[in-house]
Structure 1
Amino acid sequence: MESQPPFEQIADIPAAEMDWHLARALLDWQVEMGVDECIAEGPVDRFAVEAERVAAQAAAPAVARGGAAPAEPRAEIDAVEVARQAAQGADSLEALRAALAAYEHCELKRGARSLVFADGNPKARVMILGEAPGRDEDREGRPFVGRAGQLLDRMLAAIGLSRDAEEPEEAVYITNVLPWRPPQNRDPKPQEIAMLRPFVQKHVALAKPDLLILMGNISCQAALDRRGILKMRGQWAEAFGRPALPMTHPAYLLRQPLAKREAWADLLSLKARLEDL
């Protein structure tokens, strides 16, 4: 058999003089060396080709490609506006609770065991606005039932108030900014406070208390749009159209027992305000 010329000499052989066996041997060698595409007469801008292909595919009607017509883009849901409309439609506390239970735009709902709505006498002159349920509250479905809640009950009893009292003058009504427990008791996010604020505002309007107690930073943020409870505590303000007294949260008092003296001063201020009214 006649021997083939070395591969380095093949490039110099005119295509017309190559037989089939030589061309096939050259192709096999190129494939073995990793060649996967032919070189054309002129350069090809592969990026431009791909861009044209994508543009043409996007411009072609979906029906022509054998699929369904392109869907219209979904409008972004305004969770705060949905909450506002739902709260406005509630004409009683029972209806407000049902509206909260039907609200699907807060992710906290999916991880909580219970909807913690309220406790105490809804006709009470004093309404306490807490922050969010903890583990015990999530288990029982009532606000302030853990250690902080037990301390709160003793604080209220010291000035003649109780969540179990039947007379409005001696009773309190308790709720939270958030009705669902945040994971690991983390602080509520600003967007969570914003979307649930319309329910809180409606809750106050339906309960019609004479005074509000804002327990902790989250309550002040929801009602006064401010934080800094250690500076605000003891200073009367106005929230949702009613006198409001910021106070340190009982959970803080459990961690800082020396702060109970200031809390006692706030309770005396509350008692005096009730007597004036």
Structure 2
Amino acid sequence: MSSVEPHPAELIAWYAEMGVTEALDETPHDHFAAPRPAAPARPALVPVAGQAAPMRHASSGEFAPPDEAALSARALAREARTLDELKAAMAGFEGCALKATAKNLVFADGNPAARVMLVGEAPGADEDRAGLPFVGRSGQLLDRMLGAIGLTRAEQVYIANLLPWRPPGNRTPTPQEVAICLPFIQRQIELVDPDILVCVGRPSSMALLEVKSIMAARGRWLEYDSGKRRIPALPILHPAYLLRSPLDKRLAWRDLRTLKTAIETL
């Protein structure tokens, strides 16, 4: 058996092929060694009666409880009068732990005056690096899908995500993370006020349209109440899913034709 050590570049390439995208510690750990004794539990912080518990900051490694963080996000979102103000509020928000592991806030791309707004799930590795939604392989497929019905990203659509920070390893966002960030995307939709809302994938459709099954709901017109008005909303399959299940691209094409027909009748 060869004892030659692999070249560092080959090792990194192998890690990438295996799906390892994050270095969480500078020191390797032996996970087969005997576990260390658990640290004693820290006492919970109980707010004084009649007072809200203070928000804790990412720099301390601690975050507010989910309910408190969601209330704080709702207050910040409500105070934002423009998209720029909302982006600044999100950049300063310290209530979501995802911010600590993400490289960039991924706010939006496209034309905020467009009649069609798309809301995806969360940034991936490429989006996290670029600070823009849908720029990786699934984003390239989305651009081709939009182009097939005559839409361009720069002029005719506005694209955002349910969560503005990347979950580590591109995992599915937890219900707590969605609940914390939901007020921001709700306010973003309200400020953009599109004529058509497209929910891209299951998490976005679940959170905004209360859809339980994306396969059952895709291609069906629903409604989203923005607080200003009820907006026609269309759930569609996520491009990342279509890359894994190319046979279902035929379903996506039907949904795109449904979208194109609706745009033409606006």
> Aligned pair 1:191/2:181, yes or no?
no
Please report how far the alpha carbon of residue 73 of structure 1 lies from its aligned counterpart in structure 2 after TM superposition: 4.0
2 CA distance for matches of 1:227 and 1:109? 27
The aligned residue for residue 79 of structure 2 is: 89
Q: Which residue of the partner structure matches residue 235 of structure 2?
A: 246
- The residue type paired with residue 191 of structure 1 is Q
The answer on whether the counterparts of 2:118 and 2:159 sit within 8 Å (CA) in structure 1 is yes
Q: 2:244 is matched with which residue: 255, 258, 263?
A: 255
Query: What secondary structure sits across from 2:154 in the alignment?
Result: coil
2:253 is equivalent to residue 268 of structure 1: no
Match of 2:152 among 162, 180, 186: 162
Counterpart amino acid of residue 207 in structure 2 = A
Q: How far apart, in 1, do the equivalents of 2:152 and 2:186 lie?
A: 23
Cα shift readout 1:40-88 (whole Å, capped 9, x = no counterpart): xxxxxxxxxxxxxxxxxxxxxxxxxxxxxxxx94354511111110000
Aligned to 2:96: 106
Partner residue in 2 for 1:233: 218
Distance 1:87 1:145 in 2: 26
Name the residue aligned to 2:130: 140
> Which secondary structure state, in structure 2, belongs to the residue aligned with residue 124 of structure 1?
coil
Given that 2:106 and 2:165 are in contact with CA atoms closer than 8 Å, whether structure 1 keeps it comes out as yes
Distance 2:234 2:150 in 1: 18
Alignment of 1:1-277 (within 5 A): 73-74=46-47, 76=53, 78-165=68-155, 171-239=156-224, 240=226, 241-277=230-266
The Cα of 1:271 is off from its aligned counterpart by: 0.7
Q: Who wins on radius of gyration, i.e. which is larger?
A: 1
> TM-score, normalization: structure 1?
0.71
Structure 1 moving runs of 4+ over 6 Å: none
The Cα of 1:252 is off from its aligned counterpart by: 0.6
Q: Structure 2: where are the runs of 5+ without partners?
A: 1-44, 54-63
Q: 1:86 to 1:158 in 2, by over 3 A?
A: same
Residue 154 of structure 1 aligns to a residue whose secondary structure is helix
What's 1:54 paired with? none
CA-to-partner distance for each residue in 1:148-193, whole Å, 9 max, x for gaps? 000000010011101122xxxxx00000000000011111010111
> How far is the alpha carbon of 1:227 from its aligned partner?
2.6
* CA deviation string 1:3-23 (max 9, x = no partner): xxxxxxxxxxxxxxxxxxxxx
Q: Percent identity?
A: 56
Could you say which residue in structure 2 is the equivalent of 1:32?
none
Return the alpha-carbon distance in structure 2 between the equivalents of residues 98 and 162 of structure 1. Answer: 27
Tell me the matched-pair count. 201
Offset, 1:226: 2.7
State the shift of 1:195 in Å.
Answer: 1.2
* 8 Å CA contact 1:236, 1:244 repeated in 2: yes
Distance 1:128 1:187 in 2: 18
Question: With structure 2 as the length reference, what TM-score do the two structures score?
Answer: 0.74
